[in-house]
């Protein structure tokens, strides 16, 4: 199964709505709740990143019987130094993002922790692509 969502940069009232939809779908498919939690926590952190940093973005979800793959592509400023961005505590978030309870430099490490495969590519001035996979029978 394949699903697409659009994410609006800067719109915090909608941040998380795609993750919420994916959670509903996975619940309907009777996926193990521990797997669902790992996926939606990673996806929600990634969705908030797009809202916080990019102008707009897209989420592609591919749900198979053995794995769930998520791709988040955005048009935005990009990440100049991915290694630095992956370090816990490193953040470039605005005051607005911090007011929302994010921006402490925990998002990307938390996404990495929750998924089985993780790939982050970025081009400064163009945007960022994050792909991650969770295997359903990995536990």
Binding site for another protein (CB under 8 A): 12-13, 15-16, 19-20, 23, 33, 37, 40-41, 44-45, 48, 99-102, 104, 106-107, 110, 113
- Whichever of 11 and 126 has its CB closer to another protein, that residue is 11
- Nearest distance in Å: CB 34, another protein: 9
- Nearest distance in Å: CB 51, another protein: 10
Q: HEC states along the chain?
A: CEEEEEEECCCCCCCCHHHHHHHHHHHHCCCCHHHHHHHHHHHHHHHHHHHHHCCEEEEEEEECCCEEEEEEEEECCCCCCHHHHCCCCCCCCCHHHHHCCCCCCCHHHHHHHHCCEEEEEEECCCEEEEEEEEECCCC
- Whichever of 37 and 126 has its CB closer to another protein, that residue is 37
């Amino acid at each position: 199964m394949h699903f697409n969502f659009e994410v609006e940069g800067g719109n915090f009232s909608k941040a998380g709505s795609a993750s919420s939809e994916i959670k509903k779908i996975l619940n309907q498919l009777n996926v193990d709740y521990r797997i669902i939690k790992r996926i939606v926590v990673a996806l929600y952190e990634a969705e908030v990143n797009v809202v916080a940093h990019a102008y707009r973005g897209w989420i592609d979800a591919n749900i198979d019987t053995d794995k769930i793959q998520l791709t988040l592509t955005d048009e935005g400023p990009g990440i100049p130094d991915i290694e630095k961005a992956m370090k816990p505590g490193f953040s470039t978030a605005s005051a607005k993002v911090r007011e929302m309870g994010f921006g402490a430099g925990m998002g990307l490490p938390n996404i990495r922790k929750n998924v089985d495969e993780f790939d982050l590519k970025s081009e400064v001035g163009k945007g960022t692509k994050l792909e991650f996979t969770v295997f359903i029978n990995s536990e």
